[in-house]
């Protein structure tokens, strides 16, 4: 087995990472019939291919005289790497950047038999076809030049990994926030609906007031969206427009809940100002306490919505644009919302 210097191993890692990126982009672009920039990182490299190639070479070069062993060891090593990488990434980011759950003979969706067999074929091609000329070229590079080149690539790679990991962590935080916000608003809506239904009994005035608020909210949303549509001028602004459109809908939903709560509180106060039987007065007092709690929840939800920044969404969507098949078990609805937003934006830009 040829023993490589540390810098030469690094150059091999980067070379096969770039080759993996080229293959993924070509394969996916051919399937989609349009250019798709694949990969977890920003740069033109897929480290799982580079790491897989290094692992395969390390395991198989000592037995390169035995193709069956090269196939078997390469398949096992690469499959183990893919499983560990997929499990760690999902654990860390709560997102699956590849998922074989619908493929036959898969294990937890991280690996599957067809892909494992493909890794074995890749190992054969790597050891007997791809690597020999690469090895000859690599050994012609002066060691000092290899040191300098590998160091420069390592610095660029480290910066890329740092930025991308932070973006992926931001995506996880964003999905957590979206999920918590949706659950919070749904909970508020359900509590308010139940309470209002109880208060509505025998109160036509309150019922009419709530209907007026709903009609006004629908009209307000339409007017806001029409106004923003007229202001939007460039495609660069389209994504922010879509984000603001969704924020408007959620903001108005919260505003509508706030107005309904205020109307219900006004009704309760009017009832308490009258002479009521003790049991009815206690019921109204309980209703007022519940409505005040709902108001507090609405204010918290409005604060959460206000602190979100458009650039956080944009960074997350750029990451998802390179991984449109990403999935999440824990934050499925939030991720689907983000992917839907990206898809809407992409379709609009392609028109």
| Average pLDDT per block of 10 residues along the chain, 351 residues long | 80 94 86 77 90 90 91 94 93 89 92 94 94 92 94 95 89 82 80 75 60 61 56 50 64 79 84 82 86 86 67 74 82 82 65 54
Q: In degrees rounded to 5, what are phi and psi of residue 26?
A: -65, -50
Strand partners, 197: none
pLDDT attached to residue 109: 92
pLDDT attached to residue 235: 46
Q: Is 171 exposed, middle or buried (0-12, 13-18, 19+ CB in 10 A)?
A: buried
Residue 262 tokens, joined:
């205020």
pLDDT attached to residue 72: 95
pLDDT attached to residue 205: 60
Stated length of the chain: 351
CA distance 304 to 285: 29
Strand partners, 111: 107
SS3 label, residue 331: coil
Strand partners, 96: 327
Over the range 264-292, which residues count as b (16 or more CB within 10 Å of their CB) and which as e? bbebbeebeeeeeeeeeeebbeebbebbe
pLDDT attached to residue 262: 85
CB of 38 within 8 A of CB of 28? Answer: yes
SS3 content of the chain, % helix, strand, coil (to 5): 80, 0, 20
Compute CA 184 distance to the chain's CA centroid, rounded to the nearest angstrom: 20
Q: What is the CA radius of gyration of the chain?
A: 29
pLDDT attached to residue 153: 95
Q: How far is CA 177 from CA 106, 248, 249, 301, in A?
A: 31, 17, 17, 10
CA distance 144 to 69: 35
Using a cut of 0.85, tell me whether the model's pTM lies above it. no
Strand partners, 112: 106
């Amino acid at each position: 087995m040829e023993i490589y210097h540390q810098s030469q191993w690094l150059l091999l890692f980067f070379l096969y990472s770039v080759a993996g990126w080229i293959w993924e982009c070509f394969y996916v672009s051919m399937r989609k019939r349009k250019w798709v920039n694949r990969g977890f990182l920003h740069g033109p490299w897929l480290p799982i291919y580079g790491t897989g190639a290094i692992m395969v070479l390390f395991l198989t070069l000592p037995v390169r005289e035995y193709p069956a062993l090269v196939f078997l060891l390469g398949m096992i090593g690469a499959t183990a790497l893919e499983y560990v990488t997929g499990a760690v990434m999902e654990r860390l980011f709560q997102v699956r950047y590849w998922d074989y759950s619908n493929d036959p003979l898969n294990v937890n969706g991280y690996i599957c038999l067809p892909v494992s067999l493909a890794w074995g074929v890749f190992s054969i091609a790597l050891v007997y076809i791809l690597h020999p000329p690469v090895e000859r070229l690599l050994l012609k590079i002066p060691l000092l030049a290899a040191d300098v080149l590998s160091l420069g690539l390592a610095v660029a790679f480290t910066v890329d990994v740092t930025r991308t990991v932070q973006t992926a962590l931001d995506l996880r935080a964003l999905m957590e926030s979206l999920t918590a916000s949706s659950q919070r608003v749904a909970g508020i809506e359900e509590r308010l609906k139940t309470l209002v239904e109880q208060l509505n009994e025998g109160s036509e005035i309150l019922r009419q007031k709530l209907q007026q608020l709903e009609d006004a909210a629908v009209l307000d949303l339409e007017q806001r969206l029409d106004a923003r549509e007229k202001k939007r001028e460039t495609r660069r602004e389209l994504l922010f427009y879509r984000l603001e459109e969704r924020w408007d809908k959620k903001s108005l939903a919260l505003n509508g809940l706030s107005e309904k709560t205020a109307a219900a509180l006004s009704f309760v106060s009017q009832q308490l100002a009258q002479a009521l039987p003790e049991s009815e007065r206690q019921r109204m007092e309980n209703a007022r306490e519940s409505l005040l709690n709902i108001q507090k929840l609405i204010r918290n939800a409005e604060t959460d919505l206000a602190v979100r920044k458009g650039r956080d969404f944009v960074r997350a969507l750029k990451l998802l644009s390179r991984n449109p098949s990403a999935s999440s078990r824990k934050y499925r609805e939030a991720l689907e919302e983000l992917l839907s937003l990206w898809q809407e934006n992409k379709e609009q830009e392609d028109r």
